[in-house]
Amino acid sequence: MESVSGLAGVSRETRGRLETYRDLLVKWQARINLVAPSTLEDAWVRHFADSAQLIAHAPDRVRLWLDVGSGAGFPGLVAGIMLMETHPDSQVCLIESDTRKCAFLQSVVAETGAPVKVIPMRVEKAEAAVAALGHTADVISARAVAPMPRLMEMIAPYWSQGCIGLFLKGRDVASELTEAAKYWTIRTSHIPSSTPGDGVILKLEELARVRPEHPH
Ligand SMILES: C[S@@+](CC[C@H](N)C(=O)[O-])C[C@H]1O[C@@H](n2cnc3c(N)ncnc32)[C@H](O)[C@@H]1O
């Protein structure tokens, strides 16, 4: 695992927590569909390293990292475990509408002790629950949840000055951003993903509405 980019150089404790997470993923996958079955064998790269690479792009201070549509916890729960080592004051919040996936996420949190709050709700309904955490988000992340115009509508209530977005996206991101720019002033940069494939990390540093809600 140490040789997998994004997971290189993690401590023995972090490695142990991620292995606990991977073992639980395999166990629960037999009962509920957490990830595409074809990706399970290569989960270290496809899910864990893909998520872990975001940590290198986190700001120095992360009080709250918000992950939307977390599914089986990628990238947010991996971030939560990695931040225990690099940003010990951080809290991660996972918003996921599927309650069975949330039960899995809770079991990983319980087994690893990660400072992660799971909110079993649709992101559109979770504003009060997130506000109760006491901090605005410094980082918002998502993978495979929605095209950018829709994703921007989902995250806008949680966005504040100084926040950054870190999104794992595929090859269609340029056309998604062209569409999004009709509705938002945005400032973005693309960082090639360090895991195989044609993915990118889309870093969002400005989000301000210029037209009413996208008609998704
Ligand atoms: C394709 S899965 C991706 C899961 C994970 N991010 C990953 O990359 O493995 C999309 C997830 O987003 C969740 N989701 C979709 N719309 C949502 C919403 N409005 N609020 C909260 N969760 C949502 C779904 O339940 C699902 O688990």
pLDDT tens string 59-97: 999 999 999 999 999 999 999 999 999 999 999 999 999
Ligand 1 within 6 A of CB of 98: yes
Domain 12-209: which CATH number of 3.40.50.150, 3.40.50.460, 3.40.190.10, 1.10.10.10: 3.40.50.150
Taking CA atoms, 67 is separated from 31, 58, 93, in Å, by 24, 13, 6
Q: Is 73 annotated as a binding residue?
A: no
75 upstream amide cis, omega within 30 of 0: yes
- Residue 164 is classified by DSSP as E
Which residue's C-alpha comes closest to atom 9 of ligand 1?
Answer: 74
Residue 62 class from Cβ within 10 Å (0-12 exposed, 13-18 middle, 19+ buried)? buried
* Half-sphere exposure at residue 147, Cβ-oriented, CA atoms within 13 angstroms: 15
CA of 74 to the centre of ligand 1 (A): 10
CA of 96 to the centre of ligand 1 (A): 6
pLDDT in tens, 17-52: 999 999 999 999 999 999 999 999 999 999 999 999
Spatial separation of the C-alpha atoms in residues 172 and 216, rounded to whole Å:
17
Return phi, psi of residue 167, to 5°: -120, 130
Share of the chain above pLDDT 90, in %: 88
Q: Whose CA is nearest to atom 10 of ligand 1?
A: 145
Round to whole Å and give the CA distance between 82 and 48: 10
Q: Is the pLDDT of residue 145 over 80?
A: yes
* 69 among annotated binding-site residues: yes
Hey, what are 63's tokens?
Answer: 């009080």
pLDDT for the residue 2: 44
Residue 208 has pLDDT above 80, yes or no: yes
Is 133 in contact with 117 (CB distance < 8 Å)? yes
Q: Is 143 known as a binding-site position?
A: yes
pLDDT at 173: 94
Measured CA distances, 72 to 53, 89, 138 (Å)? 17, 23, 22
Mean pLDDT of all residues in the chain?
94
* Separation of alpha carbons 167 and 164, rounded Å: 10
Distance CA 182, CA 187 (A): 13
Percent of the chain scored above 70 by pLDDT? 96
Whether the Cβ atoms of residue 137 and residue 64 lie closer than 8 Å to each other: yes
Task: Establish whether residue 67 lines the binding site of ligand 1, counting it when its CB lies within 6 angstroms of any ligand atom.
Answer: no
